[in-house]
Structure 1
Amino acid sequence: MLLFPEIDRKKTKKKVHDVLNSYRSLVRIAGEKHSPKVTTAYIFEMKNNDSEFSRKTEKIVDRKYLAEVELAKITEAMNQLDTYDRQLLYDKYMDRNFTTNIAIYMKYHVSESKFYRELEKAMIRFAESYESGKLLIEK
């Protein structure tokens, strides 16, 4: 196995999109007190919690707990990225205000094509960071 195998960028981007696109739903399921706080430098900080998980029975999967675990994984991966990548992914997938791609690339004062190139790079870097490359798809 190669340390840096050739990556199927299209499939990897799809997996990253699926994970990050679920972010807003995960925050709603986990509850506001479990959503990461975003600092001005776009560093994600998990809020303190007392691990208050309510389990009705041992056999029922606790959606809230699973959402919290997934949020923690996303937070950890986001914090491994540089500020620009974090900002870009936050604006695209995590901001409570659903912003169009046009508004985002106008905010950054870049062309549409440059925006999509930079977004793709940020998504690949996120895939590398998420659980040590779990989202990467090899060719």
Structure 2
Amino acid sequence: MLLFPEIDRKKTKKKVHDLLTAYRTLVRIAGEKHAPKVTTAYTFEMDNTEDKFSHKTEETVDRRHLAEVELEKITEALNQLDTYDRQLLYDKYMDRNFTTNIAIYMKHHMSESKFYRELDKALIRFAESYESGALLIEK
């Protein structure tokens, strides 16, 4: 077994994209109070308050709990990245304001091609960080 097997970058990026695209939905399901707070350095912080769910159906509680767990995993993986990668991924997938790619690369003062190259790198780094590489797809 190789320590660093060859990665199928296209499939890995698709898997990460699918997960991060669901981020806003996860926040809505878990409830706004369970959404990670973003600091000025783009560090994500989870609120540690434990709420008891009363008079809810078991299915709703399970769905909410699963969303909270997934948000914690995403937060942990994001915080392992450098500030630049966190900022790109936040602007693309997590900002409450749905921003176009054009607005994002203009905000970061980069060309369109550089934006996509940097975003691709950030997606792969996120895949490596998420649960010790659980999103990586080998060739």
TM-score (ref. length: structure 1): 0.95
Counterparts of 1:75-90 in structure 2, within 5 Å, are: 75-90=75-90
Unaligned runs of 5+ in 1: none
**1:10-49 equivalence runs, <5 A:** 10-49=10-49
- Partner deviation per Cα, 1:74-113 (whole Å, 9 max, x = no partner): 0000000000000000000000000000000000111100
- 2:74 — aligned with what? 74
Pairing of 1:54-73 with structure 2 (within 5 A): 54=54, 56-57=57-58, 60=59, 62-73=62-73
Unaligned runs of 5+ in 2: none
SS at match of 2:19: helix
Instruction: Tell me the secondary structure at the aligned position of residue 138 of structure 1.
Output: coil
Q: Is this contact kept in 2: 1:81–1:126, CA < 8 A?
A: yes
The CA distance in 2 between the partners of 1:53 and 1:16, in whole Å, is 31
Rate the CA distance shift 1:97–1:5 in 2: closer, same or farther, 3 A. same
TM-score (norm. length: structure 2): 0.95
Whether the aligned pair in 2 keeps the contact of 1:127 and 1:134 (CA below 8 Å) is yes
Displacement of 1:50: 1.6
Alignment match, 2:138: 138
Over the residues paired in the alignment, what is the CA RMSD in angstroms?
1.2
